[in-house]
A and B are shown apart, each in its own frame.
With several copies, the nearest count.
Chain A
């Protein structure tokens, strides 16, 4: 449920509107539900509204956590080799 996707704000417009970019596709959305969005921020877009900002640091951390399992695996593989 709740199809939403991170997109980058490429233009701030009047009336809480913004243009976002997703893989080269651009769409006007509303920022009325989130505060303090800046150009270049990623926001999570749902039915034409930004629901929240996306935190790039946290995204990196999560990706690092995934990778961690890879490292573990590698370590173990090496250990067992």
Chain B
């Protein structure tokens, strides 16, 4: 696969690893947060950590839209589809297994008779509404800035077509607000408590919003940001660039992913998004609690496509498991293995907290890809 395989090359990785080892100052420690689950996945999947010097540590951020989706939002969708037999609830495959209240999930709601369907694309949800005029098709939309424009498009199309039986539960969230929340957390603010020397910035989010929005963090919080592609060589190169900035005392926004990300981003998509959506005053993120101005809702002009208005859906917050350390993990204060219930009560089959929900969450990634490092190899 062109533009993919070249960025996964093991031999190049070895030379990059050498370069990083050479450039990293052995006298200090580096801690970088990759905001995105995509980076978390690449790091775990390709074993990038093994190629980094011991004094370079990666912290897994909250950048997985499935992980940060609060229980109450899934509950809302489950109630809707179980109470109203006319509803077809469609959503991306990722959302189906997210645990909700009463040991349910959308998949389990389906098993109880709810008409829940997986779609590959927002367009498929729209097509379903056209195919079943006698049903109410509700698209449960999640995602960061990357996934928002397709949702905006189908909402607009539904309005143009006068498609009365299509609506959306909008759970789209915003990357910069989440980064801000992390930077504003007491541990990060009080210098020294939590070391956070810079960010690997989102790849595909940035294709839409461009590199400019990150300038604020670099300038205001003095944190270097390197936007990087989701291939493992991209990540390594970004780490190398972050190390250089730290070494040189710079805090700039750099772009490793120039092949797809420009400064201004995708203006067409941005315009579409602001036509259809507006900011929510506040939105709950699993693991981060309420984050101000961190999510989108459907504008009044598209009220007919807003399932929350149409079906009068109410959000009821559900507290996370008390033992869950997700908040601290997302802020870089703790590691998955610091959680008492990691790998026992909390496993990918029965996740207790947001970080275990999708394979891109810090706990799930460690469980699936890394837990073998926590136990000594025992002879049979």
Q: Which residues of A contact B (CB under 8 A)?
A: 1-6, 8, 22-23, 30, 32-35, 42, 44, 46-49, 51-56, 58-59, 61-63, 65-67, 69-70, 72-73, 76
Contacts and interface: CB of A to CB of B under 8 A. Distances in A.
Q: Is the interface of A mostly helix, strand, loop or mixed?
A: mixed
17 contacts: A1-B204, A2-B143, A2-B144, A4-B207, A6-B3, A33-B266, A42-B2, A47-B121, A48-B123, A59-B259, A61-B258, A62-B234, A62-B256, A62-B258, A62-B259, A66-B12, A69-B16
Interface residues of B, number: 55
A62 B12 CA distance: 12
Given A44-B204, A51-B207, A66-B16, A2 B146 contact: yes
A62 B269 CA distance: 26
Contacts of A67: 12, 15
A62 B18 CA distance: 18
Contacts of A47: 92, 120-122, 147, 150
Contacts of B37: 1-2
Interface of B: 1-4, 6-7, 12, 15-16, 18-19, 22, 36-38, 63-66, 92, 120-124, 143-144, 146-147, 149-150, 153, 202-205, 207-208, 229-230, 233-234, 237, 240, 256-261, 266, 268-269, 272, 360
A62 B35 CA distance: 21
A51 B259 contact: no
A52 B266 contact: yes
Contact of B19 (A33, A35, A44, A72): A72
Contacts of B261: 52
Given A1-B360, A66-B15, 5 more contacts: A2-B65, A47-B150, A55-B260, A67-B15, A73-B15
A5 B4 contact: yes
Contacts of B147: 2, 46-47
